[in-house]
């Protein structure tokens, strides 16, 4: 059984050198979507504020909110990348993530070496990652480019590789950040077909996006983030 549980979770981080700069504080508020507090030395942004929820087998969650609302922060906290400042996060189940382009890649290594590198970061053994290489190679359609360092790739090529590795094995938990916002039409069609399969076979799926059509297509629950606060919205409100 897979599970993600947030129990009164808050995430705060300091911004130094902003004391007394009201315009800068305003711009940070717009950019982060969190609440801002000041003391005599620092400005502290609260990206998540006392957030509680439970996800279980069968949950497919659409995470919405304006740019900078904290959707990426929420996903990284779900994945265990960002530890909470207070509260408790309980995650059970093998997790795969696809976040911003290039996350976790070694740009000096070839595409083939990064398949192994990313696979082992996901918890696969070297042998398991190696065995998946032919499937990943075929899905990416990168051909001989897989022999070249990642630093020679375009953003679209990088996204193809990351997505192919993250979805080569059906995880118990899949966390996606705006996965369908980039890439050509052909790859979007392939990736959506694979996502259909993963959603059908995985246990928990969380997808951050501004595309309400995709969220309605893939998700059965909707979470809205605003100024660090999380609210679950009824699906009927956006149908």
- Write down the H helix ranges in 41-125: 71-79, 111-121
User: Given pLDDT bands bounded at 50, 70 and 90, which one contains residue 205?
Assistant: very high
Distance CA(234)–CA(17), nearest Å, equals 41
Model confidence pLDDT, tens digit, residues 139-196: 999 999 999 999 999 988 998 898 899 888 888 998 888 755 556 777 878 888 887 8
Instruction: Map 216-237 to HEC letters.
Output: HHHCCEEEEEECCEEEEECHHH
pLDDT for residue 180:
54
Instruction: Indicate whether 5 pLDDT > 70.
Output: yes
What pLDDT does 35 receive? 55
Q: Which residue has the higher pLDDT, 45 or 3?
A: 3
Encode burial over 115-143: b for 16+ CB neighbours within 10 A, e otherwise.
bbbbbebbebeeeebeebbeebbebbebe
Domain of 32: which CATH number? Answer: 3.40.50.300
Instruction: Provide the domain count of the chain.
Output: 1
What's the confidence (pLDDT) of residue 74?
Answer: 93
pLDDT by residue (tens digit) across 14-39? Answer: 776 655 545 455 444 444 455 556 55
Q: At residue 201, does pLDDT exceed 80?
A: yes
Worst-scoring range by mean pLDDT, 77-81, 181-185, 229-233? 181-185
Distance between start and end Cα atoms, the chain: 30
pLDDT at 76 over 70: yes
pTM of the model: 0.76
Residue 23 confidence (pLDDT): 44
Q: Measuring CA to CA, which residue among 213, 223, 122, 210 is closest to residue 163?
A: 122
Residue 27 · residue 56 · CB < 8 Å: no
Backbone angles phi, psi at 82, to 5 degrees: -105, 115
pLDDT digits (tens, 9 = 90+) for 91-127: 999 888 877 666 788 999 999 999 999 888 887 899 9
**Count of other CB atoms within 10 angstroms of residue 26:** 11
CA angle 58, 132, 125 (to 5 degrees): 85
Residue 62 has pLDDT above 80, yes or no: yes
Q: Which domain holds residue 166?
A: 3-237
């Amino acid at each position: 059984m897979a599970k993600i549980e947030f129990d009164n979770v808050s995430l705060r981080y300091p911004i130094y050198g902003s004391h007394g700069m009201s315009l800068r504080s305003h711009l940070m508020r717009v950019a982060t979507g969190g609440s801002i507090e000041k003391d005599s030395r620092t400005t502290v942004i609260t990206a998540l504020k006392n957030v509680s929820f439970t996800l279980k087998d069968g949950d497919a969650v659409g995470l919405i909110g304006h740019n900078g609302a904290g959707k990426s922060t929420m996903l990284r906290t779900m994945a265990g990348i960002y530890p909470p400042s207070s509260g408790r996060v309980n995650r059970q189940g093998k997790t795969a993530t696809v976040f911003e382009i290039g996350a976790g890649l070694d740009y000096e290594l070839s595409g083939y070496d990064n398949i192994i590198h990313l696979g082992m970061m996901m918890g696969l053994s070297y042998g398991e990652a190696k065995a998946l290489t032919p499937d990943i190679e075929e899905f990416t359609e990168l051909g001989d480019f897989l022999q070249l360092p990642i630093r020679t790739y375009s953003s679209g090529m990088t996204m193809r590789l990351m997505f192919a590795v993250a979805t080569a094995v059906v995880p118990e938990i899949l966390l996606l950040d705006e996965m369908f916002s980039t890439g050509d039409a052909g790859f979007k069609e392939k990736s959506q077909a694979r996502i259909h399969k993963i959603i059908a076979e995985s246990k928990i799926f969380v997808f951050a996006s501004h595309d309400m059509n995709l969220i309605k297509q893939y998700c059965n629950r909707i979470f809205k983030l605003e100024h660090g606060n999380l609210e679950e919205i009824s699906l009927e409100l956006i149908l």
